[in-house]
Structure 1
Amino acid sequence: MDHCHHSVWQPRHKTLRTNLENVQRRATKLIASLKDKPYLECLVALGLPSLEHRRLRGDKIEIFKYVHGAYNANRPKLHPHRGRDTRGNSLKLAKERSIRNVRSSFFSQRVVSVWNGLPDSVVTAPSVSAFKSRLDSCWADQPGLFDPECYH
């Protein structure tokens, strides 16, 4: 589940996301010492973020690479934000209107809001590894790290 490119596919419906999370839930129950513990306790004990958190983190890493020029060919349509709004960061992106619900799950649509909400100190990191470190520090206190229901 985690070996594919993060931005290629993401489950759009909650049912699919729940089904994927259930695979990880069952896998944690295979560990004898965690067999009778609640799922969230298993994730915390293993230091394993929820799949939903990992998908969101993967999206942010991909958009960081995109904004900083790592991809040259076949780039999705992402444009710099041209508004006067100074909240958020200096590398904000414009979000295109999505008439169809299906389009809202496209990479170029789903990443903009979360990217624009990151602080400038994170998005202006000098490298991908620095970005990951700053992003993880920024997210350290968020309950969604281990709780997949936080994102719904």
Structure 2
Amino acid sequence: MSYLLLKYLHIIAAVFLFGFGMGSYLYLIAANRSRDPRVIAAVARMVVRFDAWITTPAGVLQLLTGYAMVSMAGMPWSADWLRAALLIFVAVGALWLPVLLLQKRLHSLAAHAAESGTALGQAYQRLYRPWLWMGVAGFAGMFLIVLVMVTKQAPWQWF
């Protein structure tokens, strides 16, 4: 596989990570604002599916194509910008599993409330807040990774 094809796939994976990730994140925030368990359950079901079927595989593709490009180009793994990008990627990835688990639980609680005709309880709100803030942190990390990749500089080199 050529370097340019790998780079293309790497960029497409980034677009999918951002696009589907941010889209599903904002969509679930909007559904939550409705306070309607039926709306939240329907949206959360789709968000869980999109994240499992599209966003997560895009993250794996991102890692694989990045590794292949570094290897093919003979770049040193000790480059500050590369180590910074990997560190941030791992940190964002470490947020991803809890986010997926929280989304599944939010869906379950909303679906149960919708089926029983009850309002969302405190358990839902206790899970929603960390999900929201982990998303903020994760997307901040993703923006930072793109900046590192474009500038080929680690954040500590910007000052």
With the length of structure 2 as denominator, give the TM-score of the two structures: 0.29
Rg bigger for which structure?
2
* Larger RCO, structures 1/2 (Cα 8 Å, 6+ apart): 2
With the length of structure 1 as denominator, give the TM-score of the two structures: 0.29
